[in-house]
Homo-oligomer: A and B are copies of this chain.
Amino acid sequence: MMELGQAIAIAGSAIGAGIAVISGIGAGIGQGYAAGKGAEAVGNQPEAKGDIISTMLLGAAVAESTGIYGLVISIILIFANPWV
């Protein structure tokens, strides 16, 4: 039988995990902006395609980090939760 106390802790952790992964919204908007600007730039200077893509991906990789932070916290709250 599950205790009421444990259930409250679990519900709190699950909602917290859902909120945490939302931090990816920022990265999603930002990276999509980068993708659009990159496509525009490649269209204007196709010969610089390699440079543009590597710059875009480098910047997007940095932005990705904050989305990954949210994923990590979310997974920790679910599987490595030290409390429940």
Contacts and interface: CB of A to CB of B under 8 A. Distances in A.
Interface string A44-59: 1111110111011111
Work out how many copies of this chain go into the complex.
14
Interface in A24-60: 24-49, 51-53, 55-60
B78 A78 contact: no
A76 B68 CA distance: 16
Q: Is the interface of A mostly helix, strand, loop or mixed?
A: helix
A58 B41 CA distance: 14
A29 to B, nearest CB: 4
Q: Which of A24, A46, A49, A75 has the most CB of B within 10 A?
A: A24
Interface of A: 1-49, 51-53, 55-79, 81-84
